[in-house]
Amino acid sequence: MRVLLRTVLLLAVFCLSWAMSSHTEAQDSTPRGGTLVVAINADPGHLNPAITTSGATHTAAELIYNGLLGRDERGDPTPDLAESWTIEQGGAVYRFRLRDGVTWHDGTPFTAADVKFSFEEVLLKFHARTKASMGGALAGIDAPDDRTVVFRFKQPYAPLLLQLDATEAPIVARHVYQAGDPQTNPANVKPVGTGPFRAVSYQKGAEIRLARNPKYFKPGLPYLDEIVMRIIPDAGTQVLALENGEVDFLWGVPGPLQERLKADARFRTAQTSYHPGGSNCIMTVSFNLDRPVFKDARVRRAVALALDREAFLKQVLFGEGRVATAPISSEMAWAHARGLRLPGFDRAEAERLLDAAGWKKEQGATRVARGVAGVADGARLAIDFLHFPAFAKYGELMRQHLGAVGIEVTQRPLEPSVFAPTVFKDRAFDTNVISYCNGPDPEIGVRRMYVSSQIGPAPFTNAAGYRSDKVDALFDQAGRTVERDRRAALYRPIQEIVAQDLPYVWLVETPTTRAWAARCSGFRAWTGLFAEAAFCRRS
Amino acid sequence: MSPRYLLRRLLQVVPAVAGIVLLAFVLVHTAPGDPVVALGGDHGDAAYYAFIRAKFGLDRPLPEQLLAYVASVLRGDLGQSFVHGRPVARVVAERLPATLLLMGTALALSSVAGVWLGVLAARRAARAADLALRTAALLAHATPSFWLAQLAAIVLALGTGLFPVQGFTDPRQSWTGWRHALDVLHHLALPALVLAAGELALTTRLTRTGVLEALGTDYARTARAKGLPERAVVRHALRNALLPVVTVIGGRAGMLFTGAVLVETVFAWPGLGQLMLSSILTRDIPVLLGLFVLVSAAVIVANLLTDLAYACLDPRVRYE
């Protein structure tokens, strides 16, 4: 009897262990090994994403690092170097518990001192977004023990949890960067991170080779042995290289070539609004509210009504994107004002409003002023339109659409480094188009467009020169409100007010299309650690 | 050629390069645009941009910046790249071999093949082969190199599968030794052919014209009358016809670099051309100035070498 019992028990243990092992095998059936070749647009110059917001560096280097937190597909915070967090004092204090057993690529243990150092000595000095958004609000960072970090703010600070990923705040090693200037540290080209891949070589102008971090703190990850970031500046060549099997993953595909890749079974594509250089972007026309012609809201509304935004979507973006339906991107669904009525395409109403504002159609094609405040009678309704050279098609459509209602538009293409001082410092423009990226939180990329304190020479802030005490007050309140529902309730009236005042026309949301070889999978297109869980089957 | 002459010519390079440094500095700094915007990104505040401006010395008056730059150039220091955070000389030196390989191959291809095709066209003047060569040369010379590069990538790389579309080496391999050299040559083929095409066309047409002209001269007629074989007559004619060809080849070093900027960009060739383009886009002023100095010095030296080549080709040319 005892023998029988022992036999049954042994059999049960065997069956159980067999079942468990087969379950583990099923989980581990993801192919391991192999090389993923990723096309990137430009030589990053260095591989330290903590000292720059340059898209080139972040695209190439984020897989080497981690943030305290990550982000899921919906944009919500997830654990990364921090395994948990608590919000105290109504959002004025954030306490993070760090993971145990994380090491830097050189074997040194990762501790809370690295986090404190990264913020105080690197991010808050050199990372433009972190410095601009968090710098003035932060009272201090404490590291009471190796696994605890505490952020103390002067008053409740809402967006912190969305500013801690590898794009907004990559954590660098204190023992590597504590001596000397972080911008000239040799580790910028031979980086030491905690990320899923470690840097092996950086051949300037050609490629960056990353190898699997065997001691990565997330069990089982990454799957790939190696990633090669191949520098290919020309977007057309990138697509040809994908088709020729020379690369496996593209960060973006030009509109006209997307259909070709989508129709080819060898490739997969996905749209995302995330980009390391700026997420959730809306192409936005700014009016210079200092100019007499645009002081009248009827003229601004007439311009908005005269623009057929569907045409921008079809003819400029080849359908890749969405017509903007509110001032905040629809990708930030919790803050986006659903159901808001922005002016639609209505040429007749535009003409009526221009007539009412004193801009009359007489002999020529261009309207002239008759009794417009601040404008000499007989002056033509001729405006300039500043844009980056890459946005020339927006200018062409703008000229065409506004020309149809009697507004003469002159395009002025300017390189970004010329555009920025012309618009923000000299304010020498009538209208322009800017790709305003909302970022992961309205406090980072939306606030700067509307609050009056952001009128000034700093680029890509309040281009319109818009002032509204009510909007200023609502933004201040939203920035101090941590609960998301309550914040959303504050962003709604802000969007209603600016949709009424129209300092801008929000044209189209511009997501990008990622493309990759169908034999590869597991990409997380919404984060800089896009290949952390990627794998490729052998072709 | 006397050593004194050579020394004098070499000394002339110094004021020329100094003038170029000055001109380049003024041009780059007075061009519209604020490098701080390119360096600082889109999301900084006023304090951040002021910090960046001070860090790179861009807040100092322009004459002061010029003096500091000239002083550092005289010490052999081309400055520190804004974007790369490393010395400009190192950033440039890392890219130089790839461009030298590309331009050297293109120049050799276009010179050797251009002279050969030019002679061929001259010997078959007004016949079908001549007409075909002249038409092809005209087309190649008139075709923009960036367009030709894209066409080559589509037809010769993607279409035939024989060539890679981009890069210096195969990213999936880590070959060394001769296999690495073969891999580089494989990747070099298309960019070098495209870059050579325009120069090849020009050299072909110039050689054809020169050889035809020389074949019609009295000494060629005399040589034929003496019973010299046609091949030998052409050899004599070619030597005289080569002077203008050499002048053009030497003088077009700068143009070849311009072509390299476009070809390197399309084929993702990791050379100076790509560096030049990215430095313009990011307003990396120290790298741009370094490249201006280097390319200008290279053009001056190429012209000097051209002058020296005259003496070898034409015994009547003597430099004293």
Distances (CA, A) of B178 to A206, A243, B94, B182, B183: 20, 28, 21, 6, 8
| Yes or no, beta carbons of A205 and B275 under 8 Å apart | yes
Distance of alpha carbon A74 from the chain centroid: 13
| Predicted pLDDT at B310 | 76
Across the interface, which of B49, B158, B283 has its CB nearest the CB of A417?
Answer: B283
| Predicted pLDDT at B318 | 65
What is the DSSP code (8-state) at residue A423? I
Q: Which chain A residues are within 8 Å of B47, Cβ to Cβ? A: 131, 135
| Yes or no, beta carbons of B166 and A241 under 8 Å apart | yes
| Yes or no, beta carbons of B37 and A444 under 8 Å apart | no
Asked whether the predicted pLDDT for residue A122 surpasses 70, the reply is yes
Task: Please indicate whether residue B74 or residue A490 has the higher confidence score (pLDDT).
Answer: A490
- ipTM value for the complex: 0.85
Mutate to test the interface with B, among A125, A237, A243, A519 (most CBs of B within 10 A): A237
Tens-place pLDDT, residues A33-48: 999 999 999 999 899 9
Tens-place pLDDT, residues A304-322: 999 999 999 999 999 889 9
| Predicted pLDDT at A1 | 44
| Predicted pLDDT at B152 | 94
The Cα–Cα gap between B134 and A431 comes to 51
Tens-place pLDDT, residues A379-419: 999 999 999 988 999 999 999 999 999 999 999 999 887 89
The Cα–Cα gap between A397 and A391 comes to 11
Asked whether the predicted pLDDT for residue B245 surpasses 90, the reply is no
E-assigned strand segments in A114-171? 138-145, 148-153
Q: b/e per residue, A346-355, with b = 16+ CB within 10 A?
A: eeebbbebbb
Q: Which chain A residues are within 8 Å of B266, Cβ to Cβ? A: 234, 236-237
| Yes or no, beta carbons of B172 and A54 under 8 Å apart | no
Shortest CA distance to A237 belongs to which of B153, B159, B98? B153
The Cα–Cα gap between B275 and B81 comes to 12
Tens-place pLDDT, residues A127-173: 888 888 898 899 999 999 999 999 999 999 999 999 999 999 999 99
Mutate to test the interface with A, among B36, B165, B170, B174 (most CBs of A within 10 A): B165
Count of CA atoms in the C-beta half-sphere (13 A) of A207: 23
Residue A235 in tokens: 């977007």
Weakest-pLDDT range from A400-414, A519-533, B1-15, B81-95: B1-15
| Yes or no, beta carbons of B41 and A53 under 8 Å apart | yes
Q: Find the Cα–Cα–Cα–Cα dihedral A435, A439, A441, A447, rounded to 10°.
A: -40
| Predicted pLDDT at A38 | 98
Query: What is chain A's mean pLDDT, rounded?
Result: 92
Nearest CA in chain A to B155: A240
Mutate to test the interface with A, among B43, B154, B156, B269 (most CBs of A within 10 A): B43
A369-376 mean pLDDT: 93
Across the interface, which of A241, A416, A445 has its CB nearest the CB of B165?
Answer: A241
| Predicted pLDDT at A96 | 98
Query: What is chain B's mean pLDDT, rounded?
Result: 87
| Yes or no, beta carbons of B95 and A437 under 8 Å apart | no
Band (pLDDT 50/70/90 cuts) for residue A10 is very low
A448-461 mean pLDDT: 90
Tens-place pLDDT, residues A262-294: 999 999 999 999 888 788 999 999 999 999 999
| Predicted pLDDT at B320 | 61
Nearest CA in chain A to B31: A418
Q: Which range among A108-112, A279-283, B110-114 has the greatest average pLDDT?
A: A108-112
Q: What is the DSSP string of B215-284?
A: HTSHHHHHHHHTT--HHHHHHHHHHHHHHHHHHHHHHTHHHHHHHHHHHHHHHT--SHHHHHHHHHHTT-
Weakest-pLDDT range from A297-306, A415-424, A511-520, B249-258: B249-258
| Predicted pLDDT at A420 | 87
Nearest CA in chain A to B149: A237
Mutate to test the interface with A, among B34, B37, B42 (most CBs of A within 10 A): B42
Nearest CA in chain B to A418: B33
| Predicted pLDDT at A14 | 45
A471-476 mean pLDDT: 96
A453-474 mean pLDDT: 93
Measured in angstroms, the CA of A417 and the nearest CA of chain B are apart by 4
Nearest CA in chain B to A234: B266
Asked whether the predicted pLDDT for residue A255 surpasses 80, the reply is yes
- A538 SS3 class: coil
Tens-place pLDDT, residues A205-228: 999 999 999 999 999 999 999 999
| Yes or no, beta carbons of B41 and A420 under 8 Å apart | no
Share of chain A above pLDDT 90, in %: 80
- A369 SS3 class: strand
The Cα–Cα gap between A317 and A314 comes to 6
| Predicted pLDDT at A357 | 97
| Predicted pLDDT at B319 | 64
| Yes or no, beta carbons of A233 and B40 under 8 Å apart | no
Across the interface, which of B37, B44, B274 has its CB nearest the CB of A233?
Answer: B274
| Yes or no, beta carbons of A234 and B271 under 8 Å apart | no
The Cα–Cα gap between A424 and A459 comes to 6
Mutate to test the interface with B, among A239, A244, A282 (most CBs of B within 10 A): A244
Tens-place pLDDT, residues B134-172: 888 888 888 888 899 999 999 999 999 899 999 999 999
Quick count: other Cβ atoms within 10 Å of Cβ A530? 23
| Yes or no, beta carbons of A53 and B153 under 8 Å apart | no
Task: Please indicate whether residue B198 or residue A408 has the higher confidence score (pLDDT).
Answer: A408
Quick count: other Cβ atoms within 10 Å of Cβ B185? 12
Task: Please indicate whether residue B29 or residue A100 has the higher confidence score (pLDDT).
Answer: A100
The pTM of this model reads 0.86
Nearest CA in chain B to A188: B85
Measured in angstroms, the CA of B201 and the nearest CA of chain A are apart by 26
